[in-house]
Each structure stands twice: as structure tokens, then as C-alpha cells.
Amino acid sequence: MTLLKRGLSRRRVLQTGMAGIIGSGVAPLMFTKGAWAQEFCNNPTGDTVTFGLNLPLTGAYAEEGADEQKAYELAVRHLNGEGDGGLIGVLTPTALKGNGILGKKVAFVTSDSQTKADVARAGATRMIERDGAIMVSGGSSSAEAIAVQGLCQEMGVIFMAGLTHSNDTTGKDKKRYGFRHFFNAYQSGIGLGPVLGQEYGKDRRAYHLTADYTWGWTQEESMKAATEALGWETVQAVRTPLGAGDFSQFLTPVLNSGADVLILNHYGNDMVNSLTQAVQFGMRDREANGKNFEIVVPLFSELMAKGAGANIKGIFGTSNWHWNLQDPGTVAFTKSFGAAYGAPPSQAAHTAYVQALLYADACERAGTFYPPEVIKALEGHEFDGMGNGATLYRAEDHQCIKNILVVQGNDNPTSEYDVLNVVQEVQRDAVSYDPAIFGGDLGPAEPAPLCA
Amino acid sequence: MFEVIFLQFLNGLDKGAAYALIALGLTLVFGTLGVVNFAHGALFMLGSFCAVLFRQLLTMETVTIDPTKLSPWGAPLEVRAPLVQAWFGDFGAVLVNYSVPASIIITIPIMLLVGILLERGIIKHFYKRPHAEQILVTFGLAIVAQEVIKAFFGPNPIPQPMPSDLRGAADIGAFLGMQANVITYPIWRLVYFLFSAVIIGGVFAFLQFTTFGMVVRAGMADRETVGLLGINIDRRFTIMFGLAAVVAGIAGVMYTPLLPPNYHLGMDFLVLSFVVVVVGGMGSLPGAVAAGFLLGILQSFASMTQVKALIPGIDQIIIYLVAVVILLVLPRGLFGRRGVMEA
């Protein structure tokens, strides 16, 4: 009433009020644009930053999960300036200082993914929402990796994949927030094909047993393409359930199928079981079509090779990395890991360790944890010193392009870890390919979605 | 085509032998004590870990650190010397080679004790309780058993090598006078089949031809009347529970070279063995054996490429499909008796 008495009309009051409301709401947005950009999922505000480690500690790939965990713990120690520094000293270029990331100490939380995609996704959700993970890493199954990668894209958290070998991870299911250091099934085929042709000739008949999920399918497809290009015939490709245990009913039909090569598109425990049982069926002592019957394991797991014992001798496959390479990066990592755990690291441990360092390095180079900026720092980044030669984190599909290894089961191992011989280091140009062949869409980086 | 079908049939017998052996113990417990024992798979798993334990004892080593040398991965070199060979020489080496079958020696008393303690300690309190409560408590026991094993032996499978003389495949075709290298089958799987046949035959003979077995069978048919005759039927049933645990345990031991034991091995077999028991007829020993072999053979044939080409995925569902069909046609299973598990 008083205001109106002073000559202010109701319209004037409303206009002034509206202007005030709009002004007070918009002005902060205009003047604090940079600060707004820093509002993102799990922006670390304290003096620590937390990694979420999604590890298959049980299930078909449990051995890999346990080794990955050791590697992550080692990486965190090295990032925080503890221990011998591991690969930080040989990574070039590097922005890492050994004082955490951007001055914050690195901590971690873990979750057992049980080698199951749904459990992995639930674990990642918990680590992001409850534990405040700034980055999620881990996994030894492509089904897990693809499930978690999709979640991370939705929540705006970067996913640094552990061991995942399916073409789909950086192919049709690629995501802007997902990055893979490990090689893929297509690269295994490109690398392994010529060696198989050289060793076993061009007139062969192959029988595939394939783990029935995304990795197995793409591995089978890639091996078929590589071997059929050599002139081999594919007799049959049979899908087997993940974690089948007893593969005898799938192996029996191989015996009189007319095949002279068995390609086991299995990994982890499945690989140990199917390979051991195939050897029990006498397949390595057989002759078929006038030739020695051969077994091929396109993706070797050296941890599992240890479990398969003598069955692995002489068998060809591929590997992302092996501890007995002699480059400075491999020597440094093997020494550091061996001193800490009394055994050499597996390829799963290596890729896990490298991914943790690469994420930390990207944050340092970007000067922020803001995911779109970290993504920019990783995309197209060239680095060296991590054990695979000069490496490119390809911007188009977030696949690392680097050297891969063709390996063979060691006939004369000097220790229980000396299970594989490196037959050939296939150069990165030979295993590079057009990312468009697998399709997919990375999706947006900005604006970074807010979790929870 | 004959050799393909013959091999698949052989594989079915081999798988069926494993199913029948597990289902036999399960039925034994249900037929005598009337308890639906969901911990039976765990007993199979415990048996397999008796083999692991025995081998670990046999392969104990003295480890000395040689500070002057480094391993290829940079750790101080460990020099290992196996103890058993040092103590027993060649016999020690033979013992290590045959550790899986030899571990039956320790498995029998361990599993008998586990079975009797389980029955006296927990199961006996649930005889008169509803089957649902029996299932809950035995399922709980199974989880406890697997967590205990996980705590002591870790989550990963522990491969158990078969004796070197029994590795590789036997040329059955050549043995039968046919072409060589056409019908071959792993020797250890044949051993497992024969072993199962002996155990199944032994259990039947024990129940059929011994006074103890006769009393147990009488107790299975009419527990109260046998009790009224002054026979302590409860003690005999306790021993039968122990016997079922032993059967499950040694079945687990002999299976270890085929599938490296891990803590959830029992759960992997549990559902399957219950399907076998239900298809065979609750409480029927011949039913359990017949259903075990039937489902093993069907599963093997369903995995043939030609069959899968006709019905994709049939290998994964065949057992459950057959169970549904049999239970629709014969609601009490193949050899089920009237009044068993019927209100």
C-alpha cells in the first residue's frame, strides 16, 4: 500500500520484480561460464581423486581380474610417488610428476564384476554414485566392457577399458567416453593369418569352437576372414556357452568332421578347459587329410596358459604384450611388478597399468578432470615407452594403434611363467585399419552429463 | 556317420555317468531320510578339493631364496625342492603322478565324517519340518561350504593332472577291429565311466545283498515298523547319509582331471542333478541312474551340428525340455513311486 501511495503502480512492481528475477538468474551464468563448465560428475573437491576398478575377481576370467587388480594398485602407488615409479620414467611425452593427479592423491575402490555384464554395470553404477569414482577401469570380458562403457557415456565418466578384445568395443559399440589400449580380434586375425599360412600351408580345413558372446563372435569372424583369405576352408563354426566347463560334447564332433585345424575362440578358464580337453581327445596326436591336426588359440592368456601346462606347447596365438620383451618399458614394468608380487605381469595387468597412467597423464596435460577436456587430451595422442612401441590413441574410434605380438607355446619353458615365445612383433602399420569398417558412433563429449 | 553317432553316444554315456553318480547320492539321502539335500552339490565340490588338498600335501616344497641370483622378472630367485620325492624317491614321484586316484584314500574318511557330522549336527533337526525349510537350510549349508573353500583355496580353478599313463585317447575303433584313428576317446573319460559303473553297482549290491542294506531298504519302505522291531534305524540312516557324502566326494575326486575344481563347482551340478532325480522319480535309485544316462546321452546328441542346424540352441535346453515332457506324461518321473513327496 505504501509503495502505491508513492506513485508505483502494480504494473511497475511486477516489471521490476520480473527484471530482478531474470537478472539474478542469468547474470551468474554469464559471469561464471568457466565455473559452470567445471560442474561434472564426481568433480573431485577434496585432496584425493578416486578410480573405480571393476574387476572380474570370480568367474571365467578371475585370474585376469586378480592380476589387473595388482597392476592398478601398483599404478596408483607410482602415480602417488611411491615405489620405483614404474613406467612413469619411460613414458614419453609425459606430464606426470609423481605427486598424484593435478596435486590430488589417487585412491581407488573396487567391485567384483564376476565376469558378468549386468554385475559389472551395477558395480560401476555403485562406484560412480556412492564412491564418487572420477574414472572407471577394468574388466576382462568384452561384454562387461561394452556394458560399462555405455553406462559411462550416459553418466559422463571416462571408462579406460581393461582387457577387452572384441571388435565391437571400439567398433559398433564405441563411445566417446570409452578408451581401449588393448588390441582387438581383427588385429589378431591380421597378425596371425600370415604366420598360420607359413606354418600350416594354404590347404587347410578349420573347425571353430566359439564363446557365445560379443568377443567370441568377432574373434570367429576375424579368424574366418584371415584364414579364408589364405585359402583355408571353414568346415564348421560352433558356438559354446561362456563358462561351459565340460566341452566334450562339442569336441567329439570335431574328430570326424574332416577338419584338420581346430580354432578355439575361447579365453580364460574356457580356453584352459577346451584346450586341455581337446588334448585329452588326442587331437594333437591325430592326422587328418594327410596332415598333422593342429590347434590354434587366436587370443592367448598367459595366466591361463600356465594352468593349461604342457598342453599349450607349440600352439600359435596372439598377445597384446609379453613380459619377456626387451624394450625399456617392458623391462621397467616387469621389474617393478615382479619385485612387488614375485611373478611377472600378464598382458591383462599391463594394459590395466598403462590405462591408469594414460588417464592420469591426460588429466595433467588437460589441466583439469573435466571429462570433455580429458577426452580431447587422449584423442589422437601419440606416446611411446609403454612396451608396445610408438602408439596412437586414435581419435576416430578410441582404439590404440600399436605393435601386436604373434606368440607360440614354449616347448622348453624355464619357469612356470615362461610359457610363450614371441614369434613375431607385428608392426603397427600392418595392424592399422580404417575405423569406418566397423561402423558405430562415438557420441557427444559435451556437455558432460551429470551423474546421479 | 556311424563313427559320429557312436562317439556321441560314448560321450553321452560319459556325461551320464557323472550325472547318475551325483543323482544317486541325492536320491539315497532323499529315499532314506526324506530330506531334499541342496548341499549335495557342495559335497561333490568338497570331494574334489580333497584331491586338491592331497596333491598340495604331496607337492610341498622347501623354498630357499638365492640372493645372488635374480629371476627373469627381477625378483630374488627361489630354489624349490619337492619334499615327497626327497623322502620317498621314485615311490614319491609315482604317488604325485597318481595323486588324483590316490586321494580317494583320504577322501573316504573325510567325506564320511563330513556326512555324519552334517546329519547329526544339522539335518536331523529338519526331518519333520516341511521340504521348503529343508531346501533352505541345505542351500545355506552349500553356500557356507563354498565360501569356506573360497577362503582357503581362492576363487580360481586349480587344475589337477591325470596320471601320465592315462593321458591321451584310446583307439576304440582299432580295439573293435575297425579302422584305426576313427573312433578315439580320452582314456580318463573311459576310466570315469568304468569307475561310475563300479560305484553304482557297488551301492546297489550293498543295498541288495547285505543285511545292513536290507534293513535300510526296509526302513525306506516303512520306517516306523522297522523301528518297532527294535532296530536303530536312525543310526543306519545316519550312516547312509555318510555313504551318500562319500559317493558324492569320490565322484568329485575322479572328475577333477576333466574339470579343474573351483568353489562353485557344486552349484554348477546342483540344478542338473535335481532335474535328473526328478526325471528319474523322487527316491528311486534305478530312476536316478537311468535318468542320468538318458539326459547325458540326449545332451550329447543335441550338441551335434546336424541337430543344432535343425533346432538352434537345442543343446542348451534339451535337458529341461525332456524333463518337462516326462513330467507331463509321467508326473512321478520314470520310476517314481506313489506317495513320495505327495501330500
Specify the amino acid at residue B261: P
As a whole number, mean pLDDT of residues B92-109 equals 92
Instruction: Tell me the average pLDDT across A168-194.
Output: 94
**Lowest-confidence region among A59-63, A344-348, B294-298:** A59-63
Residues on chain A touching B258 (C-beta within 8 angstroms): 246, 248, 277, 280
For cell 557344486, what's the residue? B266
pLDDT higher than 90, residue A15? no
Nearest by CB to A339, which of B74, B260, B268? Answer: B74
B10 neighbourhood in chain A, CB within 8 Å: 252
Q: Does B166 touch chain A (CB under 8 A)?
A: no
Q: How high is the pLDDT of residue A12?
A: 58
**What's the rounded Cα separation, in Å, for the pair A125 and A338?**
33
B307 interface with A at CB cutoff 8 Å: no
Does residue A342 have a pLDDT over 60? yes
C-alpha cell recorded at residue B201: 553297482
CA angle A339, A342, A346 (to 5 degrees): 95
Give tens-digit pLDDT for A221-267: 999 999 999 999 999 998 888 877 889 889 998 988 889 999 999 98
**B306, closest residue in chain A (CA to CA):** A253
Contact A342, B75 (CB under 8 A): yes
Distance CA B289, CA B276 (A): 8
∠B74-B157-B154 over CA atoms, to 5°?
A: 70
Q: Quote the DSSP letter at residue B123.
A: G
Can you give the pLDDT at residue B60? 87
Q: How large is the average pLDDT for residues B223-241? A: 87
Q: Which of A57, A246, A334 sits opposite B259 (nearest CB)?
A: A246
Residue A213, classed as helix, strand or coil, is coil
Identify residue B142 by its one-letter amino acid code: A
Give dist(CA A356, CA A353) in Å, integer. 5
Q: Rounded distance, CA B20 to CA A76, Å?
A: 51
Report the pLDDT value the prediction gives residue A9, as an integer from 0 to 100: 57
The backbone torsions φ and ψ at residue A166, rounded to the nearest 5 degrees and listed phi first, read -70, 145
Residue of A245, A252, A338 with shortest CB distance to B73: A338
Q: Each residue of B197-206: pLDDT tens digit?
A: 999 999 999 9
The H or E element containing residue A395 is: none
Task: Give the span between the Cα atoms of A20 and A14, in whole angstroms.
Answer: 10
Given the C-alpha cell 593349461, which residue does it identify? Answer: A308
Q: Are B251 and B21 in contact (CB under 8 A)?
A: yes
Tell me how close the Cα of A377 comes to any Cα of chain B, in angstroms.
Answer: 33
Q: How confident is the model at residue A366 (pLDDT cuts 50, 70, 90)?
A: very high
Q: What is the pLDDT of residues A414-439, one digit of tens each?
A: 887 888 899 999 999 999 999 999 99
Distance from CA of A381 to the nearest CA of B (A): 30
Mean pLDDT of all residues in A200-204: 93
Residue bearing cell 539335518? B123
CB A308 within 8 A of CB A276: yes
Q: Which of A254, A256, A285 is nearest to A264 (CA)?
A: A254
Residue A156 CA from chain centroid, whole number: 18
Query: Can you give the pLDDT at residue A405?
Result: 95
pTM for this one? 0.82
State the Cα–Cα distance between residues B260 and B278, nearest whole angstrom.
28
Separation CA A321–CA A156 (nearest Å):
30
Q: Distance between CA B303 and CA A369 in Å, rounded?
A: 52
Please tell me the predicted confidence (pLDDT) of residue B339: 60
Among the listed residues B84, B35, B87, B31, the one whose alpha carbon sits nearest the alpha carbon of residue B61: B84
Of A278, A308, A64, nearest to B159 by C-alpha is: A308
- The pLDDT, as a whole number, for residue A5 is 43
Residue that wins the pLDDT comparison between A424 and B316: A424
Least trusted range by pLDDT, from A81-85, A215-219, B165-169, B218-222: B218-222
Mean pLDDT of B95-103: 92
Is the Cβ–Cβ distance between B36 and B25 less than 8 Å?
no
Kindly state the average pLDDT of the residues B46-50: 95
The sign of the CA dihedral A56, A58, A61, A62 is positive
Residue A27 clears pLDDT 60, i.e. is over it: no
DSSP string, B79-105: EEEEHHHHHHTHHHHHHHHTHHHHTHH
Closest CA to B242 of B33, B23, B16: B33
Query: Strand locations in chain B, DSSP E?
Result: 61-70, 76-82, 169-171, 184-186
The C-alpha angle with vertex A359 and arms to A354 and A360, in degrees rounded to 5, equals: 100
Span A395-416, pLDDT tens digits: 999 999 999 999 999 888 888 7
Whole-number Cα distances in Å, A208 to A251, A273, A277, A295, A362: 10, 15, 15, 10, 40
Task: Provide the pLDDT confidence category of residue A36 given band limits of 50, 70 and 90.
Answer: very low
Q: How far apart are CA B46 and CA B245, in angstroms?
A: 9
pLDDT of res. A31:
41
Band the pLDDT of B141: cuts 50, 70, 90. very high
> Is the minimum CB–CB distance between B61 and chain A shorter than 8 Å?
no
From the CA of A244, how many Å to the nearest CA of chain B?
Answer: 10
- pLDDT at B169 exceeding the cut of 70: yes
Residue A38's pLDDT is 54
Q: What is the pLDDT of residue B87?
A: 82
pLDDT given for residue A18 in this prediction:
55
Cα A193 to Cα A120, A229, A260, A400: the distances in Å are 33, 8, 16, 21
C-alpha cell at B1: 556317420
Does residue A360 register a pLDDT over 90? yes
Residue A2 is predicted with a pLDDT of: 40
pLDDT at B59 over 50: yes
C-alpha cell of residue B300: 550329447
Average pLDDT over residues A139-168: 92
3-state secondary structure B210-222: CHHHHHHHHHHHC
Contacts with A273 from chain B: Cβ below 8 Å: 259-260
Q: Note the pLDDT of residue A4.
A: 43
ipTM above 0.95, yes or no: no
Q: How far apart are CA B150 and CA B171, in angstroms?
A: 39
Rounded to an integer, the average pLDDT of B211-238 is 86
A213 CB neighbours in chain B (<8 A) are none
From CA A111, how far away is CA A57, in angstroms rounded? 8
Average pLDDT, rounded, for chain A: 88
Q: A56-74: b or e for each residue (b if 16 or more CB lie within 10 Å)?
A: bbbbbbbbbbbbbbbbbbb
Mean of pLDDT values over B167-190: 85
The shortest C-alpha distance from A366 to chain B (Å) reads 35
* Number of neighbours of residue A192 by Cβ within 10 angstroms: 28
**A26 CB contacts (<8 Å, ≥6 apart)?**
none
Name the more confident of B225 and B86. B225
Integer Cα distance of B168 and B161 in angstroms: 12
User: Would you call A256 and B3 a contact, using CB atoms and an 8 Å cutoff?
Assistant: yes
Residues in chain A closer than 8 A to B14 (CB atoms): 248
How close does chain B come to A363, measured CA to CA in Å? 31
Percentage helix, strand, coil, to 5, in chain A? 45, 20, 35
pLDDT at A34 over 60: no
Which of A256, A257, A415 best probes binding to B when mutated, by most B CB atoms within 10 angstroms? Answer: A256
Q: Looking at residues B161-185, what average pLDDT do you find?
A: 85
> Pick the residue with more confidence: A21 or B305?
B305
Residue A97: is its pLDDT beyond 70? yes
Average of per-residue pLDDT values in chain B: 87
| pLDDT value of position A25 | 45
Is A255 in contact with B11 (Cβ distance < 8 A)? no
Strand partners, A405: A319, A425
